[in-house]
Chain A
Amino acid sequence: MSLRQSTHDPRVQALVLLVPALAIYAVFALYPMINVVILSFQKWNGLDPNRQFVGVANYTAIFTRDPVFWVAFRNTVIWTVMSLIFPPVVGLLLALSLNQKIFGRNGLRAIFYLPVIIAPIAVATMWKWMYDPFFGLFSQLLTSWGMQGWIKDWLGSKDIALYSVFVAYLWQTVGFSMVLFLAGLQNVPQTLVEAARIDGAGRWAVFKHVTLPALRPTITIVLVLSIISSLKAFDIVYGLTGGGPAQSTQMLALWAFTQAMQIFDFGRGAAISVVLLLITMAVVVPYLRWTQRHEEVEA
């Protein structure tokens, strides 16, 4: 094959187009990931020119001696479970409501989606003000309603701080689930809905037996994306509590950052990141395989 012919080969063209992207991916994603895995077996404080190989010592330390790791792990699990329930359910309810032909629904869709485009750190700043126990919005409202007894130290109490942060996270992310469900709802066959109604099915029956099965692919996508997003939860926790009080809102992603970039124990920070990576992979890999199978079936 001549050079001229080979340049017209679609496979060669595809390769030429892919190489720059692959190179960038390899340098900025693959290499750092491999380096983090290597670093998790080393001791390094960022100052010494040499990294010392320590075997699994960093993993032993975080699993057995770190007083915060398991708190962060538990919080990450709680956060993930809540993320699997609340944003999808609230998002679905919003989507169902805003799929109706109501006045100003486009404006309402935009309003509910708006928090998604705000930077999480800005959301944190906003909610921090609202949660201020002295001058914040919630305290002022409760005071004006004569419900001072309900005022809590929203971000300062170990018992409720994690849930207070989650409410802010829910406010920010629910619009994303809503949009995905709205897109999914457009694909629900109207002929089936009408046929069910003709057969005498009520609203709940139509929803349960027609709408919900048709939304199954969307639900899977929403749930998987919710899990991935929840495992990465960082900015909003950092901005609202910094992991406190007493590390009670600490999360794995934030604790990895704290170990590496604040305590400068890069080995332990990397070990926590690897644990988080493995958990994320356990979710993402089955999802990718499911997507691939789905695409093959459709093809």
Chain B
Amino acid sequence: MLTLSAKLKTASIIAIAMASFAATPALAEDITLWTLNFDNNAGNEALKKAATDFEAANPGTHVEIVQRAVDEHKTALRVAAGSDKGPDIYFSWAGLGLGGEYVKAGLSLPLDKYYAEYKWDDELLPSAAAFADLYPGGKHGVPFTFKGEAVYYNKKLFEQAGIQEEPKTYDELLAAAEKLKAGGIPAFTFGGTVNWHVMRLMDVILETKCGAEKHDALKAMTLDWTKEPCAAESFAEFAKWTKDYTLQPFMGIDNKQSYSLFTAGRAAMMLEGDWLVSQMNGSGANLDDYGIFPFPTNTSRLYGFAEYNYISTKSKNPDIAAKFLDYFLSTKVQQDLLGQLSSTSVNENVQYTNQKPLEAEWLGIFQKYDKVYMNGDQAFPLDVTTEYFRVINEVASGGTEPTEAAKQLQNFIASRT
């Protein structure tokens, strides 16, 4: 028999449970956004504020934001892909790699209808929006952020080596590296333990040596790496840069250590993304001491990648999801978010004021280019990316000859089932 106390406890539990159900009625216009937990907390707060403001502007709607670390997010998406439940909107990278895998698996809803309805192409930065057209079967996703990568250089070290101007061609860059070397200054610094850092060098060299079309075809694996001489030439050039013009040793350090060496003036250049400006600013570096120029590939394309928000095919409310994305991409919201999620916006109508010198330079770069070539790890499927990393590292370690490197990569691609 239940005691009075036990009866009271049971009644209380039932009451609380009923109250909970009453307090959170299931809304017809609920949407869920799965995204990353960003390192920059201001970005996390800004995202939540955008959701709250959207709810206020659209009574009856509720936007739930679920944030996870990168690996947990990827795993959660895989679980969601295999079940009926999941988010209405999900964050992923743009490109045929990881983002493309979800598109291929049918998790992403084609958004052509919403692009036309909301006229997104009219307000998005063309270089950022271009990724939506990469996939077969329509437009997928909308840009969340766009990241450009270029060469940061130490002005004092350039001056010390007698380099008067920013290199505008690949030959000028080589000449500058040679001048730096003669002055005892390593041209570049890279971190080898994180494979994607030194991969950037190989990517930009491939773009330079093969040109845009062949580079894209090689990354799309529609051209044979052993039959295109530019592939082996690129590996040879890459080997030269890592051997002669890179701060040694670099294979045992990561990107953060490499960054410390760059700001300590141990190397003259670093191939990094636009996010480095806020990182440098935060660590107290004098931004006036540094300059930026796009790696001179002579293809009129900017090196970069984008992060996208995709609407899930499993969404019960795709129209509300699209409405939220439209709100998020609007000039007003993007203007408010500026500097919190990224130093530049994917909306081309956003106005920039009080910019730091390097931020202004980045804006100029973004406005100049309307075409992009992607990082290797975004362009290749995951297994090929892993092999690409291995081959690059083998070449950088001096363990594999350039022609052999091209052969090994092609063999791997050919053996995929």
Contact = CB atoms under 8 A, between A and B. Distances in A.
A and B found bound together: yes
Interface stretch (A10-18, A154-162, A174-182, A190-198): A154-162
Interface in B223-277: 248-253, 257, 260-261, 266
A156 B192 contact: yes
Interface in A229-258: 241-242, 244-247, 258
B82 A46 contact: yes
A154 B415 CA distance: 34
Given A57-B417, A247-B390, A134 B253 contact: yes
Chain A interface mostly: loop
B10 interface: no
Interface stretch (B11-19, B109-117, B362-370, B379-387): B379-387
Contacts of A135: 257, 260
Interface stretch (A105-113, A142-150, A212-220, A260-268): A260-268
B44 to A, nearest CB: 25
A48 interface: yes
Given A133-B253, A153-B251, A244 B82 contact: no
Contacts of A133: 249, 252-253
Given A48-B82, A156-B250, A262-B386, A134 B107 contact: no
A46 B250 contact: no
A48 B383 CA distance: 17
A61 interface: yes
Nearest to B386: A263
A231 B133 CA distance: 46
Interface string A189-207: 0000000000000000000
B382 A245 contact: no
B38 interface: no
Given A134-B253, A241-B193, A263-B382, A68 B107 contact: no
Given A241-B193, A244-B193, A155 B252 contact: yes
Contacts of B253: 132-134, 156
A120 B81 CA distance: 33
Contacts of B382: 262-264
Contacts of B386: 258, 262-263
Chain B interface size, as a band, is 35 or more
Q: Taking each of B71, B193, B195, B396, which has the highest tally of chain A beta carbons within 10 Å of its own beta carbon?
A: B193
Interface string A26-50: 0000000000000000000111110
B78 A264 contact: yes
B195 A132 contact: no
A245 B192 contact: yes
B193 A245 contact: yes
Interface in B388-417: 390, 393-394, 396-397, 399, 408, 412, 415, 417
Given A153-B249, A153-B252, A242 B399 contact: no
Contacts of B102: 47
A245 B82 contact: no
A20 to B, nearest CB: 26
A286 interface: no
A47 B105 CA distance: 6
Interface in A36-83: 45-49, 57, 61, 65, 67-68
Contacts of B319: none
Interface string B188-200: 0000111100000
B121 interface: no
5 contacts: A153-B251, A156-B192, A156-B250, A244-B251, A244-B393
Given A244-B393, A245-B252, A246-B394, 19 more contacts: A47-B78, A47-B101, A47-B105, A57-B417, A67-B412, A133-B253, A134-B266, A135-B260, A153-B249, A153-B251, A156-B249, A156-B251, A158-B399, A244-B192, A244-B251, A245-B393, A247-B390, A258-B386, A261-B71
